[in-house]
Amino acid sequence: MVELKNVDVFYKESGVDALRDVNIRINDGEFVFIVGDSGAGKSTLLKLLTNELPPTNGRVFVNGYNLSKLKKNKIPKFRRSIGMVFQDFRLIPGMTVFENVAFVLRVIDKPKRFIRQRVPYVLNLVKLADRAKSYPSQLSGGERQRVGIARAFATDPGLIIADEPTGNIDPRLSYEIVELLLDINKCGATVIMVTHEHDLVQYFGGRIINLKNGQVAFDDFIAGKTNAADDESYEYGGDSE
Ligand code: ADP
């Protein structure tokens, strides 16, 4: 569960109120898109959720942790309860696809036997079982991001945060990336995806949180084009950039 209660973030350096009185609750198992124009506060919101930034006011709860009271020795365990998917993939170039995914499991001391089973399982989920021995440089952008998703899910975190995961890949392949995140969501992970691609959001629908000038301007469900009549009546007020 993710909950922000009356959260403000004020950056002293720039004098900017990046978030103002934000209240959001995301239950376990949800899939949520976070949208908003540049400067709306999306990155600031993600930094709160990953405990990189404390709120100026208000409280933040993630995966059962009250982040304002998180003790230093609990931080590693908290971080492991979140899987991150980055816009720039962040794969290790000198490691194969298999090794990139196995690495995050080794870091947390998972037994070899577990790794030998888990890595093929997650690579299969993202339809890359046949590329296990390839290096990132031998993959397309879409394939690299599929590795990124496999890696994020390898540790079986309760929450996956995908920060503009389609930002660096061919727009035609963006849909496939969201579909994989939806598959992962069906496997039990809560998924929060930040994006500025309105077409994607309109296509898939679901719960949309639209930030504007640091405030929640819209937080509701919209019908997607996959399961709704092709009309524009479910506009959520997102401006295109
Ligand atoms: P988004 O991710 O939606 O583009 P951000 O959360 O990055 O928005 O930024 C929200 C506002 O806070 C912007 O006005 C930005 O200039 C400001 N801001 C972001 N990060 C910092 C920072 N580290 N120091 C000062 N101001 C910042």
Q: What is the pLDDT of residues 18-36, one digit of tens each?
A: 999 999 999 999 999 999 9
Measured by CA distance, the residue closest to atom 16 of ligand 1 is 39
Check pocket membership of 215 for ligand 1, CB cut-off 6 A: no
Check pocket membership of 240 for ligand 1, CB cut-off 6 A: no
The predicted structure's pLDDT at residue 172: 87
Mutate to test the pocket of ligand 1, among 9, 10, 11 (most ligand atoms within 8 A of CB): 11
Spacing, Cα 67 to ligand 1 middle (Å): 21
Whole-number Å distance between alpha carbons of 81 and 157 = 5
Check pocket membership of 210 for ligand 1, CB cut-off 6 A: no
Whole-number Å distance between alpha carbons of 46 and 163 = 8
Check pocket membership of 46 for ligand 1, CB cut-off 6 A: no
What's this model's pTM, rounded to 2 decimal places?
0.93
Spacing, Cα 16 to ligand 1 middle (Å): 8
Edge to edge, the sheet with strand 31-35 lists 82-85, 159-163, 190-194, 31-35, 206-212, 215-222
The predicted structure's pLDDT at residue 145: 97
One-letter amino acid of 63: N
The predicted structure's pLDDT at residue 167: 95
Spacing, Cα 213 to ligand 1 middle (Å): 10
pLDDT cut 90: percent of the chain above it: 90
Check pocket membership of 15 for ligand 1, CB cut-off 6 A: no
Q: What is the pLDDT of residues 66-125, one digit of tens each?
A: 998 999 999 999 999 999 999 999 999 999 999 999 999 999 999 999 999 999 999 999
The predicted structure's pLDDT at residue 67: 96
Residue 83 has phi, psi (to 5 degrees) of -105, 130
Check pocket membership of 223 for ligand 1, CB cut-off 6 A: no
Spacing, Cα 9 to ligand 1 middle (Å): 10
